[in-house]
Amino acid sequence: MPNLLAGKVALVTGAARGIGAAIAKRLAVDGALVALTFSASPDQAHAVVGSIEGSGGKALAIQADAANAESTRAAVALTVKTFGALDILVNNAGIVAVAPIDQFPYEDFEKMIAINIKGMFVATQEAVRHMRDGGRIIHIGSCNSDRVPFQGGSVYALTKAAVVGFTRALARDLGHRAITVNNVQPGPTDTDMNPAQGPSAAGTVQHVALRRYAKPQEVANFVAYLAGPEASFITGASLLVDGGYAA
């Protein structure tokens, strides 16, 4: 059903590549005006914009470090200034580091907290100040908040479990404005950061019931559904798109 998001304005954080890029493109296909942030991949971000505009959509790439509060707030403000409104926020920006807890570098811990939790909070807080009633907030969490069948993932799981609690409580806070809040939890997905042919893929795929990695587009499809009018009664939910990884 084309143009379900016609007239809507979306901001997708960390969308220069991978899942974020797929989400930005899919929201544009559905008719949304799309702003996307990037930190250190300008060529890839502008390629996403070019792809969207080449298909007749409108998009804007904004350089913003998710770990920097002022940069994130400025990205929200520029989105609203450029497109005149904000209806959809997709908190996709995130990083992962894996190591045994007794060897985990404190600097990596601080960076994951800064991006995976603080960055999500700042983007959400600022977006809510501008978002029209009936809007959508969609966090990109991880199936590892439910299941971690490998060693060294405790800190990453900590950050993604925080997203689950934030989603539930925020849905209560914003329900009176008909703003829904949901958490999409992908399983192993074929991206530059976690390629389906990477060194750990053979072991990882054994935990997936469908015995394969997801394509970024498969995650984006579900995000688009949650962003659309047909998902208006879904809120406060953490929803797996993991091929049975957590089954």
Q: Break the chain into its structural domains and give their ranges.
A: 9-238
pTM of the model: 0.97
**How far from the centroid of its chain's Cα atoms is residue 156's Cα?**
15
pLDDT given for residue 200 in this prediction: 87
Residue for token pair 């983007």: 123
41's tokens? 């991949």
Sorted by sequence, the CB contacts under 8 Å of residue 76 that are 6+ apart come out as 11, 86, 123, 126, 127, 130
Residue-wise over 163-201: b if at least 16 C-beta within 10 A, else e?
bbebbeebbeebeeeebbbbbbbbbbbbbeebeeeeeeb
Inform me whether the pLDDT recorded for 2 exceeds 80.
Answer: no
Percent of the chain scoring above 70 in pLDDT: 100
CB 220 within 8 A of CB 18: no
- Determine the straight-line distance between the first and last CA of the chain, rounded to whole angstroms: 31
Residue type at 58? Answer: K
What's the mean per-residue pLDDT of the chain? 97
CA gap 187, 167 in Å, rounded:
18
Inform me whether the pLDDT recorded for 142 exceeds 80.
Answer: yes
Chain length of the chain: 247
Q: Is 156 a catalytic residue?
A: yes
Residue for token pair 């991978």: 18
17-31, 76-90, 189-203: lowest mean pLDDT where? 189-203
Mean predicted confidence (pLDDT) in 25-29: 98
Inform me whether the pLDDT recorded for 1 exceeds 70.
Answer: no
CB 115 within 8 A of CB 95: yes
pLDDT given for residue 154 in this prediction: 98
The class level of CATH for 9-238 reads: alpha beta
Mean predicted confidence (pLDDT) in 31-37: 98
pLDDT given for residue 210 in this prediction: 98
CA gap 119, 73 in Å, rounded:
10
Residue for token pair 């580091």: 97
Q: How many CB atoms lie within 10 A of CB 151?
A: 10
Mean predicted confidence (pLDDT) in 136-162: 97
Residue type at 163? Answer: V
Q: Which of 156, 213, 225, 245 is catalytic?
A: 156
